[in-house]
Chain A
Amino acid sequence: MGIVNEDGQSRSEIAISWLNATGFLTLKNFAQRTDALKELNATNLNAVLILPENFTQNLDYGVQTNVSLIIDGTNPDVARLVDDGIRTLFAEFYKTIINQNYTEPIMVNTETAVVREAIGYKENIVPGMLTYPLLFSSMVVSTGAIVFEREKGTLKKIRASPIRPINMLFGKTLAALFQTAISIIVMSVLALFLLGPKLNWNVPLLIPIFFLGSMNGIALGLIISCIGRAPQEASNAATTIAVVLQFFTGMYFPIEYLPVYMQQIGQFIPMTYAAQALRNIMIRNATLSDLVVPMATLTVSALILYGIGVVLYKRWVEK
């Protein structure tokens, strides 16, 4: 959440320190209201809190003071969470930090900034639906593809032919990408016809996110398939890991609902960036420049994970 302290006096500084100490939100200070709102529009913030000029003075004189909370309303769940949270926190702040003898509380005036009109459940669920194949299909398909060949014994046949292991791996990767793409297309068509969400289907931006997200899932699947001792073990592990990871990635529900430590774990999961990027493109009309960080993160993580996968795969094949 962005904080604009227009007051700059003691009471407002105490309020900011107190908000910081609660750990409810990560705060970022802005000197100008316009800068904070720009960041909000760029989807880098969930909300902006403005402490007005007379904040300290009003509290000192026992007069009601108003703070402005501008929330990104594109995700109704997050907006409600932030609104309720800030109101509760200021009420607590008033009771705990400010003298209880004051009669007038701090009033929180909430304003919702909506990038697009009519953002509702359908609009929020569809990007989550499209993250699903990136996590499940790509990971489980790539695990299954390699494990299947091992279980069936056909890996032996392929290895006895003049095909390099790395070529087989690329073939499996392409196949998993293809299957994931089919899943995404099916999900998109179903979403369009069954839910009819008002979303920005910016295909040139969506394709790289789908590709990078899939590559991360495929690489994870590859690592799991090489570590698993038995085929069934690898398949089960891939499914279990995918199920667990979805809670950290903010696929179906806002990541902000999670405890802070879980949100922090989510930052280390590539699919979190894919999920957020899809939301930003489809709901918030994000442009290429807004996606530099998630794209770079997904690219680096895909390279690292796939690199680890290749090394493990070569060792596994030569066993």
Chain B
Amino acid sequence: MIIEVEDLVKHYGEVKAVDGVSFVVKEGEIFGLLGPNGAGKTTLMEILCCLRRFDSGKATVYGFDLAKDSLKVRASIGFCPQETLLYDLLSVRENFAFSASLYSLDSKKFNERVEFSSKVLGVGEFLNRRVQQLSGGMKRRANLAASIIHDPPIVILDEPTVGFDPNIKREFWELIKNLKHYSKTVLLSTHDMYEADEICDRVAIMNEGKIVALDKPYALKKTIGGDDAIHIRVKDSQTKKAITILKEYKTTVIDSEIQVSAKNPWEVMAEVSNKLVSQGILTEKIEIVEPTLEDVFIKLAGRKLAEES
């Protein structure tokens, strides 16, 4: 295991930010920490990057004990926080050179890594431009490239796409997934369920400092998320009538949509549709929706994951 965390605890005064967390990350996987703001994700990541001390528990990164070998731990990770940590007045290449100097990279290795960043992360087109002249997306790509310029085996990304527009977010997801092909292990935190679902091999769901579930996204959705649901939208004035017609099914109304839970959704969808049409109710939308990690979180924590999600 490339990262092992055992019963880790961290307090901020009376508040338990990380409450007995244990998990392992396998080599070469993309492991996600999913949870709302304040769940303890960032604190946990900062502990693993040796930016914060922990109160009790044990953790090893790349075989090095966090408490004893912090310099070796730091040498084996590339940390990319959600803020862009580049010097605005320097060019991208100069920022890379600064980052490389932190890890004592020789010039040959540095040039190789710049080449890699240009090819894989697409920074070649703006390598010699000052950071202040770059767009938000370019900055984030350069930020990621700078954080892995020393070719670390482990990449730790804290909310890597927060504030991105959907297109850039997707582009960034591809970059992260691409890292896997270069033998990188990725640990990322996010409160975006789609992000966790899309790019993570395994996800640990965190709430109030604890890991409340850990598995592959698909498995989490199947085992905890519940049955598929049929989402139906009718005219507002007909919603009450429609619910009455569908009283034999398990229905809920969320955001003006009637949701019908069903183990065999395709059969039920035909029945529901026929019943509504026969009673003169026309559906504006009817579709089958699989459970999401949001559903998993709601079931586990009794609340929504995040406003943005």
Contacts and interface: CB of A to CB of B under 8 A. Distances in A.
Interface of A: 152-154, 156-164, 318
Given A152-B87, A164-B71, A157 B99 contact: yes
Interface in B70-121: 71-72, 74-75, 77, 79, 81, 83, 85-87, 99, 102-103
A169 to B, nearest CB: 15
A157 B82 CA distance: 11
A162 B71 contact: yes
Given A162-B71, A162-B102, A164-B71, A157 B51 contact: no
Given A156-B83, A159-B51, A162-B71, 5 more contacts: A153-B85, A156-B51, A161-B74, A161-B75, A161-B102
B213 interface: no
Contacts of B58: none
Nearest to A317: B51
B29 to A, nearest CB: 21
B51 A160 contact: yes
B172 to A, nearest CB: 19
Interface in B198-247: none
B186 interface: no
B75 A156 contact: no
A247 B10 CA distance: 48
A162 B147 CA distance: 13
B49 interface: yes
A259 to B, nearest CB: 46
B234 to A, nearest CB: 50
Interface of B: 49-51, 53, 71-72, 74-75, 77, 79, 81, 83, 85-87, 99, 102-103, 146-147
Contact of A162 (B51, B74, B85, B99): B74
Given A152-B85, A157-B79, A162 B103 contact: yes
A157 B103 contact: no
A152 B86 CA distance: 8
Contacts of B83: 153, 156
A318 B52 CA distance: 7
B143 to A, nearest CB: 9
A159 B74 CA distance: 9
Nearest to A164: B71
B87 A160 contact: no
A158 B79 CA distance: 10
4 smallest CB-CB distances across A and B, nearest first, come from A161-B102, A160-B79, A157-B85, A162-B75
Contacts of A156: 51, 79, 81, 83, 85
A158 B99 CA distance: 8
Contacts of B50: 159-160
Contacts of A160: 49-51, 74, 77, 79
A146 B102 CA distance: 17
Contacts of B74: 160-162
A153 B75 CA distance: 19
B71 A154 contact: no
A156 to B, nearest CB: 6
Given A160-B79, A162-B74, A162-B102, A154 B51 contact: no
